[in-house]
Structure 1
Amino acid sequence: MSAMEPLCHLFGTNHRYFSKEENILLEAELFVRVCEELKFILRDNLKNYFCVLKFTTEMENAMLESNFARLILQDILSTDDYTLNGIAHYTNTHEDVVTEVATGQNTNPSALFLRKIIELHRSVRQELYINIMKKIAAQYCSI
């Protein structure tokens, strides 16, 4: 199932009605919105950490941006569904690269790797993504 199908279902439309270019643009928009929602959730999970360190909003944003992939990887690992080796296999990425991202040594992974770990995260945190999709759909339906 493509990433667009569940969202289109929530909107009451069929993704096949869109051209290939429109589907690409919609998927890019969805990806950006999902990342924004994930950062919002991560910010909420880290609020005590940010408070102790007396981070400003700008510092929080910078930390979330530079550690986004690492935090997603840590959440996948916390489910015990995947190991670093399993993530490397799923994403077709060398295990050293996955380890570098997971340990914070690589804060700028490729867009393809980021997309693949978010797809994997979506499979281990299905309920979270259902709620994110519903929230996004509600926001767009209210426009």
Structure 2
Amino acid sequence: MFAEKLRCYFENVNYSALSKKEKILLEAELFTRVCEELKKIFKVPYKNYFSLMKFNIEMENTVMETNYVRCIINDILATEEYSLAGIAYYTDKPQDVIIDIAAGKNSDPSSSLLRKIIELHRSVRPTLYQEIIKKIMLDIATLK
């Protein structure tokens, strides 16, 4: 579980003492923060495009939200550790579904597919996720 892997970062939180509901809420909060950090990272290559198109922040966020899963899949492909067929096999989905997402034809996959794609992304880009977690923990520490 994602939250269990992060419990060592919480000095004042006894993870084992949290209720099941609190653990779920903690995991959801961390998952949301990781997703937001990934969107920021994926947004960088589009900076000039957004400027050229004179997009406001809301429009930029809409574009990134629409292309979020596509960006993750393309980042997995960029590592050359998985092909589209490999991603399809890992996620237990037809290759056509993965191709449609990677091509931008399907921008709203199921939550279970999103979860599997993010799990795969974490496995091929562990350093990226470690950096994101450090940033999140630093942000949390500065709020205390």
The alignment's TM-score, normalised by the length of structure 2, stands at 0.91
Residue 11 (1) aligns with residue 10 (2)? yes
What does residue 33 of structure 1 align with? 33
Deviation at 1:7, TM superposition (A): 1.8
Shift of 1:14: 5.2
Give the Cα–Cα distance (whole angstroms) in 2 for the partners of residues 11 and 45 of structure 1: 33
Matched, 1:73 2:88: no
Aligned to 1:123: 123
Coordinate RMSD, CA, aligned: 1.4
Q: Which runs of 5+ in 2 are unaligned?
A: none
User: Partner of 2:52 in structure 1?
Assistant: 52
Hey, what does 2:108 align to over in structure 1? 108
Which amino acid is 1:28 matched to? A
Q: Quote how far apart the aligned CAs of 1:36 are.
A: 0.5
Tell me, yes or no, if the aligned pair for 1:11 and 1:141 is still in contact at 8 Å: no
Q: What is the rounded CA distance, in whole Å, between the counterparts of 1:81 and 1:14 in structure 2?
A: 37
Structure 1 window deviating more from structure 2 (121-130 vs 50-59): it is 50-59
Amino acid at match of 1:134: K
Identify unmatched segments of 5+ residues in structure 1.
none
Work out the number of aligned pairs and report it. Answer: 142
Percent identity between the aligned chains?
51
Determine if contact 1:66/1:108 at 8 Å carries over to the other structure: yes
Distance 1:15 1:94, change over 3 A: farther
Q: Which amino acid aligns with 1:7?
A: L
- Corresponding residue SS for 1:82: coil
